[in-house]
Amino acid sequence: MHGRIDLFEQQGAVQLYVESIQPAGFGDLAIRFEALKARLDAEGLFAQDRKRPLPQRPTTIAVITSPTGVVWHDIATVLARRWPMTRVLLVPCRVQGEGSAESIVRAFGRLESWLKALDRDGRAAEAPQLTILARGGGSLEDLWSFNDERVVRAVVEHRLPVVTGVGHEVDVTLADFAADVRAATPSAAAELVVPDRAEWLGSFRRAGDRTAAAVARLLDAVRRELAVEQRALDRLDPRVQLVADRERVGLLLDRAVRVAEIGIERRATALRAAGADAPRPLLARLAAARATLNASASALAVLGPQATLDRGYAIVRRSGDGAIVRRPSDAPAGTGLSIRVAEGDLTATTEGSA
């Protein structure tokens, strides 16, 4: 209760004149705050479904605050430290005292006009992606400009997402309810709107390490597959196959000769036991078979690639795919070559064709 007291000395009486009454613990500004909050909330200005998400890495940020206070310096310092690639646009205004609410609303208006001018000039890429509204701490009276209905509506109608950093953590204004995101302090608002470059670089390095490890595993798997294919190709190499076939034919012929000799020897033994000589035609066939075998082996040796290499010829292949080079166009300048001669392999690189 607020009022005055009158004293009537002759009668010995005291009289109290009450001029105003308000609930205990609430001041006039607190009552106005709650009443305006309830009315604006009923209009849906504080609804969560109208809150907009913040861009992850904004290229430009607008800051509405006083140009002479420490708040502007703190915000600029935090932004430069955490994400120096971001441009910061200061929209100056008064944040305390008579006319401060009108100054804040005019700052929003100037920013809106500049955004429209950028759109007209085709320079929308230079426009900020969000706006920070900030000021330092103070009493309820000091922060009252941010409870002004005009400021609240300017925040709601602003085309960009708005982050408020007004006062200290315990200070709450109506502009905080209207903003898309409320930060506890101006510095906290700056930290909210940009990533930390140290954390970003760390995550980037970790992603690079994971990528390098994945590529290494893939290359190892490919190398193993190539080794398997190389072994299969080696088994299918005509030279290797020819040597194997020659050895197999030789073994089969030797086995056949041994079987024939054993059979002839047994027959001759049986004939001798019976008192007769071994038939000459059979011995003649055996000698002829041996002569044929020797001639075939000599022919295989002459026709084999090794005999050709022994005469001074060579087999030229491309190093990359192993294809045989038959004409100059198969190996343009700079092509790596593998040259097989009689007693080994040589490597070479083409310089051009004659």
Say which residue, 152 or 200, is predicted with more confidence. Answer: 152
242 in the same domain as 135: no
- Worst-scoring range by mean pLDDT, 145-154, 195-204, 304-313, 318-327? 304-313
pLDDT digit string (tens) for 254-290? 777 677 667 766 766 776 676 655 555 655 666 676 6
Q: In the prediction, which pLDDT does 275 show?
A: 60
Structural domain includes residue 79:
yes
Q: Domain for residue 48, yes or no?
A: no
- In-domain check, residue 309: no
Position with higher pLDDT, 98 vs 313: 98
Out of 73-87, 217-231, 273-287, 306-320, give the one with best mean pLDDT.
Answer: 73-87
Strand-pair category, 336-341 with 344-349: antiparallel
The pLDDT value given to residue 237: 62
Q: Which of 144, 168, 195 is at the close of a domain? A: 195
Mean pLDDT of the 221-225 span: 89
The three-state (H, E, C) secondary structure of 55-113, written as one string: CCCCCEEEEEECCCCHHHHHHHHHHHHHCCCCEEEEEECCCCCCCHHHHHHHHHHHHHH
117: Cβ contacts below 8 Å, ≥ 6 apart = none
Instruction: Kindly state whether residue 260 falls inside one of the protein's structural domains.
Output: yes
Domain match, 294 and 338 both: no
Q: What is the CATH number of the domain that holds 148?
A: 3.40.50.2300
pLDDT at 160 over 60: yes
Q: 123 and 98, same structural domain?
A: yes
- Whether 287 is in a domain gets the answer yes
**Higher per-residue confidence, 116 vs 235:** 116
Domain membership flag for residue 47: no
Q: At 134, is the secondary structure helix, strand, or coil?
A: strand
Q: Which residues pair with 344 in a beta bridge?
A: 341
pLDDT the model gives residue 193: 96
Q: Is residue 354 part of a domain?
A: no
190 and 71 in one domain? Answer: yes
Q: How confident is the model over 285-334, as pLDDT tens digits?
A: 666 766 776 777 666 666 667 777 777 888 888 887 888 888 888 888 88
Tell me the pLDDT tens digit for each residue of 165-181.
999 988 999 999 999 99
User: Do residues 114 and 166 both lie within one domain?
Assistant: yes
Shared domain check, 290 and 321? no
Least confident stretch, 98-112, 130-144, 151-165, 251-265: 251-265
Which pLDDT value is given to residue 65? Answer: 97
- 235 pLDDT more than 70: no
Boundary-marking domain end, from 136, 170, 195: 195
Same domain (yes/no): 169, 179: yes
* Of residues 20 and 106, more confidently modeled: 106
The region, left, alpha or beta by phi > 0 then psi within -120 to 50, assigned to residue 299 is alpha
Mean pLDDT of 63-76: 95
Q: 194 with 57: CB under 8 angstroms?
A: yes
Across the chain, mean pLDDT equals 86
Cα 67–Cα 68–Cα 74 angle in degrees, nearest 5 = 75
pTM: 0.57
Please give the pLDDT value at position 271: 65
- State which residues form the domain around 261: 237-303
50-68 residue pLDDT tens: 999 999 999 999 999 999 9
Same domain, yes or no, for 90 and 161? yes
Report the C-alpha gap between 335 and 329 in whole angstroms.
Answer: 11
Helix (H) or strand (E) holding 163: strand 162-166
Lowest mean pLDDT among 65-79, 197-211, 273-287: 273-287
- In the chain, the number of structural domains is 5
Closest CA to 198 of 55, 82, 86: 82
- Say if 36 falls within a structural domain: yes
